[in-house]
């Protein structure tokens, strides 16, 4: 399963804000430095779906495509 997300970093906590037209808006507590935000995103969706998570596109972008499972 692939999902599209748009990320806002430096948020108070990591959580899904809303879903709109196939795009998930996600607040991430981590900073966008040293890959910290990407690691937090992978951990968050792994806990949510209990499956392996990979960032397929957008490693340095606010918009990302995740592969779940």
Q: What pLDDT does residue 20 have? A: 92
Q: What pLDDT does residue 55 have? A: 97
Q: What pLDDT does residue 62 have? A: 96
Q: What are phi and psi of 49, to 5 degrees?
A: -100, -10
Q: What pLDDT does residue 46 have? A: 97
Which pTM value belongs to this model? 0.91
Q: What is the dihedral sign for C-alpha 11, 14, 16, 21?
A: positive
pLDDT digit of tens for each residue in the chain (69 aa)?
A: 999 999 999 999 999 999 998 999 999 999 999 999 999 999 999 999 999 999 999 999 999 999 999
Residue with tokens 């992978």: 42
- Beta strand segments in 1-69, E: 2-8, 15-20, 23-27, 53-57, 63-68
Instruction: Quote the CA–CA distance of 2 and 14 in Å, as a whole number.
Output: 20
């Amino acid at each position: 399963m692939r999902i599209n997300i748009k990320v806002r970093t430096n948020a108070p906590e990591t959580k899904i804000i809303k879903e709109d037209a196939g795009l998930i808006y996600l607040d991430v507590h981590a900073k966008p430095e040293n890959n910290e935000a990407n690691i937090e995103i992978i951990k968050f969706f792994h806990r949510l779906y209990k499956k392996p998570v990979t960032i397929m596109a957008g490693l340095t972008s606010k918009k990302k495509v995740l592969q779940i499972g």
